[in-house]
Chain A
């Protein structure tokens, strides 16, 4: 299985969550994070803001659903047609095993 971690704008978070729900990925964990990107944050006048608030969305999907889920996130998280700096990043990492606590079952699928 595959873990997708997407860093998105806080104001796009609801749209992404809804898009994921429509795409058939109800299970998502949301974490408040602060960070900076390639542009070294934002410069407003003399002040450099390098800890911009973002939301980290974490979901674990099957390997075959990976591209579909990423496309759903991309479409919803982008600002305007072309997108803008600060729209976020998506990271993909492998997951060896998945367990459900309530049943104690191993639920790993490829």
Chain B
């Protein structure tokens, strides 16, 4: 069992949800987050700051600004991790900085609250 956490663009949420559902992963948790990456700056601001405009320098600040993103979390069986990662990448990839990151974390256990099933059975979407 693995937990796949993906930080993606706000605007790609619907497409990602749809693509994941088509790939057979419909259960997910999402929330709105703020974040920063390696440090992307608006180049017009940077140029303005270099030219010595005070407003641009003030806006630039010391640190890169926090960007709103969507955090998408889903727990899937080991066999599905590659599919999920590929789906998220194919939908969200524009090739520009800010597309996001995907983290894969190990999960020790899962329990379905409704039935009390544990382990792989708890996250199996094929039952019912």
Contacts and interface: CB of A to CB of B under 8 A. Distances in A.
Interface of A: 3, 17-18, 21, 26-31, 58, 60, 93-104
A100 B89 CA distance: 8
B37 to A, nearest CB: 5
Contact of B101 (A18, A21, A31, A98): A98
Contact of B105 (A17, A29, A94, A103): A94
B8 interface: yes
23 contacts: A3-B103, A18-B62, A26-B64, A29-B33, A29-B71, A31-B33, A60-B103, A93-B105, A94-B106, A95-B103, A95-B104, A95-B105, A96-B105, A97-B85, A97-B103, A97-B104, A98-B104, A99-B101, A101-B8, A102-B93, A102-B94, A102-B99, A103-B95
B63 interface: yes
A29 B96 contact: no
Contacts of B35: 27-30
Interface residues of B, number: 37
A30 B7 CA distance: 11
B106 A101 contact: no
Nearest to B85: A99
A101 B85 CA distance: 9
3 smallest beta-carbon distances between A and B, as pairs:
A102-B99, A101-B99, A29-B35
B127 to A, nearest CB: 26
